[in-house]
Amino acid sequence: MRAGDIAVQTGLATANKRWCEVDFLTFESKAVKNVHVLGDAIQIAPAMPKSGHMANQHGKTCAAAVVSLLMGKEPPKMPLYANTCYSFVTDEDVVHVASVHRYDAEKKTMLTVPGSGGVSARASELEGRYALAWARNIWADTLA
């Protein structure tokens, strides 16, 4: 696993020549100014999952930062990401894992908010309904 060929060939993949290091306030590459990198190509923060939900959050943070930068303003300084991952264990029963991450200015990275994580007590059909509702919402939000 690593970032795509374009990231490697253009020098964006600076973390073990596999992942792109970014400023978590803007998702600007640490290697190439004015290039923003999102999703699975980035070197994630500690305990940050590589998930579609998280990539959606990254995109929103990056978009807000780019708008601010284009307007000559500072990007938002305290991004906060929520993440939920659902897994179907049967055709109806689902489990989830969730977490919240916030920017730590001192460490210049995203850290998990203490006590914010959670996992399903057990697989259930109710979680399956939640998963399908989550999917409809994330698809509408991401693809709209």
> How far is residue 4's CA from residue 18's CA, in Å, rounded to a whole number?
9
Q: Please check the confidence at residue 46 and state whether its pLDDT lies above 90.
A: no
| Domain coverage including residue 69 | 5-143
> How far is residue 26's CA from residue 14's CA, in Å, rounded to a whole number?
17
- Model pLDDT for residues 52-101, shown as the tens digit of each residue: 899 999 999 999 999 999 999 999 999 999 999 999 999 999 999 999 99
> How far is residue 63's CA from residue 66's CA, in Å, rounded to a whole number?
5
Q: Please check the confidence at residue 117 and state whether its pLDDT lies above 90.
A: no
Q: Please check the confidence at residue 144 and state whether its pLDDT lies above 90.
A: no
> How far is residue 144's CA from residue 140's CA, in Å, rounded to a whole number?
5
The torsion defined by the Cα of 118, 123, 128 and 129, in degrees rounded to 10, comes to -70
Q: What mean pLDDT is predicted for residues 16-39? A: 94
Q: How many domains does the chain fold into?
A: 1
Residue 1 banded pLDDT, cuts 50, 70, 90:
confident
116: domain CATH number is 3.90.760.10
Count Cβ atoms within 10 A of the Cβ of residue 26 and give its class: 0-12 exposed, 13-18 middle, 19 or more buried: buried
